[in-house]
Amino acid sequence: MLATHETLILKQSIRAALPRVWNAFADVDQRAAWGVPAGEAQIYDVADFRVGGREQYKCGPPGNLEFYGFVDYAHIIPQSIIVHSDTVTAGGKTLATALLTWEFESDGEYTKIQLTDQVTSLVGIGMINGHRNGHTKALDQLRELLEKPA
């Protein structure tokens, strides 16, 4: 099978200050809470959020974390931009790899996020759809988490 490529551009506007939104990404415990769809689980075995840092995680349905991910951070400007790769494997086989760019912008009482996900699937369109659906749900969950009344 040949590789399948797609560039996904997702946007979210969150009624929360930029530092709070940024911290929800930078803090791996918060990211694990909003970063996967409801009913799924994600556990970070290694978390190193810095330029040159690498994170390793496993994810999937609770009790069956069959997917492994490897994130390498290439560029970070606090409260502005994050560029990283993310490779997902299962059973020792690479399923997909992506270059992700997260852009954060303050707009009054809101923070705007644009996520550009340049994904290459080695197993067909399902991984592309998984990226689209997973990131859309994650951004929605981040908004819901940060906009909850205290």
Quick: pLDDT tens for 28-52.
999 999 999 889 999 999 999 999 9
Give CA angle at 46 (44, 51), nearest 5°.
Answer: 115
Give the residues of the chain that fall short of pLDDT 50: none
Residue 140, in any domain of the structure: yes
Let me know: does 26 contact 49? Beta carbons within 8 Å.
yes
Residue 66, in any domain of the structure: no
Residue 99, in any domain of the structure: yes
Backbone angles phi, psi at 9, to 5 degrees: -125, 115
Tokens coding 128: 């592309």
Q: What is the pLDDT of residue 2?
A: 86
Count the residues in the chain: 150
What's the pTM value of the predicted model, to 2 decimals? 0.95
From the list 28, 18, 139, 138, the residue with the least C-alpha distance to 80 is 18
Q: What is the pLDDT of residue 149?
A: 80
Q: What is the pLDDT of residue 1?
A: 66
Residue 60, in any domain of the structure: no
Residue 50, in any domain of the structure: no
Residue 63, in any domain of the structure: no
Residue 65, in any domain of the structure: no
Residue 135, in any domain of the structure: yes
Any idea what the CATH number is for the domain that residue 18 is in? 3.30.530.20
Residue ranges making up the domain that contains 99? 4-40+77-147
Number of domains in the chain: 1
Q: What is the pLDDT of residue 101?
A: 98
E strand segments, 108-146: 110-121
